[in-house]
A and B are shown apart, each in its own frame.
Chain A
């Protein structure tokens, strides 16, 4: 950014260049260097103006949002009420060894929720996406879980504790043998002093 301010008056004469050309030139990061544009005072003034405009555009929505009066977000409540009724069941896994004539399933969604809850119970860890990948029908199911760690939590110990808790609980709940359990740490959470707001 530059402090150069174009003088008052409209952008008209750009020494044979158009505003579109200047915008394209800016979009390319002013490379390759164009002596025709760079040596024209009118173009340089317009470029400075375009850069200021772009900087302001980048902040426009945040500023609008900050200036907006606080309001009750009734629409959000309506949305959350509605989606809580629309679960994501995913695949259905039949429970084995039931008496003939009976039938029961556990949904992938329920098992994901279980893994999520187990993960969130581990100090310093927050569960992300949970993936079940059956190897073959009736066989073991692999599990891939993304997690975030709170800054400062020991990686090895925290992930090991997560694995321990999942493997302690899931075999009792899932109607299939657990194959691989892959845990990927996707990012680290910075928790401000005094905890989350």
Chain B
């Protein structure tokens, strides 16, 4: 057999579906490429859900190990990114349950000052999101960023659907109000 090192480079160009299929077959190089590709947004998602960036590494590690074990059962490898998001949600809230904080101390998340030069919609959203109570922000992020249904959010957070609807309505109203000011 000809030896070839083209694989390692070309793997970085491969589709999610191909990589997930290889990883399901046991190819850890393909899994590494998937992790590198998606871990920045997974980290951002986890941070938005937990507001505890210092715990993100632990959550991501659990996400990755869970994913590796479960990959052979993934029905549609092309949707591996959305699947990783679902695992990240579960692991993020599992971490919060394992390590509850008596007082909610929110850590610094990217804000207007350090991320973008212009103060625009983006900054208004960031700033308003950081001022929301944690539960409202979580529910909004799960719905609008994660794309979960009300039922799925209720299940993920182990709260009644009515609570989800209430929190979401409040979050939307506050975010809209915050973004409604003149730029």
Chain B residues near A163 (CB-CB < 8 A): none
In the assembly, what is the distance between CA of A11 and CA of B178, in Å? 10
Chain B residues near A58 (CB-CB < 8 A): 145
A residues with a Cβ closer than 8 A to B are 5-11, 18-20, 23, 46, 49-50, 52-54, 56-68, 73-76, 78-80, 82-84, 86-88, 90, 109, 112-113, 116-118, 120-121, 123, 126-130, 146, 148, 150, 165, 169, 186-187, 189-192, 195-197
Asked if B57 contacts A75 (CB within 8 A), the reply is yes
Chain A residues near B11 (CB-CB < 8 A): 126
Asked if B17 contacts A186 (CB within 8 A), the reply is yes
Counting from the closest, the 10 A-B pairs by CB-CB distance are A129-B21, A67-B115, A88-B26, A64-B44, A65-B40, A196-B9, A57-B144, A120-B7, A67-B110, A61-B44
Asked if B176 contacts A128 (CB within 8 A), the reply is no
Asked if A127 contacts B144 (CB within 8 A), the reply is no
In the assembly, what is the distance between CA of A165 and CA of B176, in Å? 60
**Which of B31-39, B95-103, B152-160 lies at the binding interface?**
B31-39
Nearest-neighbour CB distance to chain A for B60, whole angstroms, equals: 5
Asked if B145 contacts A67 (CB within 8 A), the reply is no
Nearest-neighbour CB distance to chain A for B172, whole angstroms, equals: 6
Chain B residues near A65 (CB-CB < 8 A): 40-41, 43-44
Greatest chain B CB density within 10 A among A52, A58, A83, A169 is at A83
In the assembly, what is the distance between CA of A87 and CA of B25, in Å? 9
Chain A residues near B125 (CB-CB < 8 A): 53, 56-57, 60
Mostly, the B contact residues are helix
Q: Name the residue on A nearest B72 (C-beta).
A: A88
Q: Name the residue on B nearest A23 (C-beta).
A: B172
CB-CB under 8 A for A53 and B176, given A83-B31, A129-B21 = yes
Q: How many A-B residue pairs have CB under 8 A?
A: 192
A/B interface sample: 30 pairs, CB < 8 A: A5-B182, A6-B176, A7-B182, A8-B181, A10-B177, A19-B169, A49-B179, A56-B179, A57-B125, A60-B48, A60-B125, A61-B48, A64-B109, A64-B110, A65-B44, A67-B110, A75-B58, A75-B61, A79-B64, A79-B68, A82-B65, A87-B26, A120-B7, A120-B10, A123-B6, A129-B24, A129-B77, A186-B17, A196-B12, A197-B9
Interface residues on B, range: 35 or more
Asked if B12 contacts A20 (CB within 8 A), the reply is no
For B159-175 the 0/1 string (1 means CB < 8 A from A) is 00000010001001101
Chain A residues near B43 (CB-CB < 8 A): 65, 68
Asked if B110 contacts A19 (CB within 8 A), the reply is no
- Taking a contact as CB atoms closer than 8 A, the residue among B15, B48, B121, B181 that contacts A148 in the complex is B15
Chain A residues near B183 (CB-CB < 8 A): 5
In the assembly, what is the distance between CA of A150 and CA of B44, in Å? 32
B104: interface (CB < 8 Å): no
In the assembly, what is the distance between CA of A169 and CA of B1, in Å? 8
Chain A residues near B1 (CB-CB < 8 A): 117-118, 121, 165, 169
Query: Apart from A63-B122, A121-B4, A146-B18, what 14 extra A-B contacts exist at CB < 8 Å?
Result: A5-B180, A11-B177, A20-B165, A20-B169, A53-B125, A60-B44, A61-B145, A63-B110, A64-B110, A79-B65, A109-B25, A113-B25, A129-B18, A150-B10
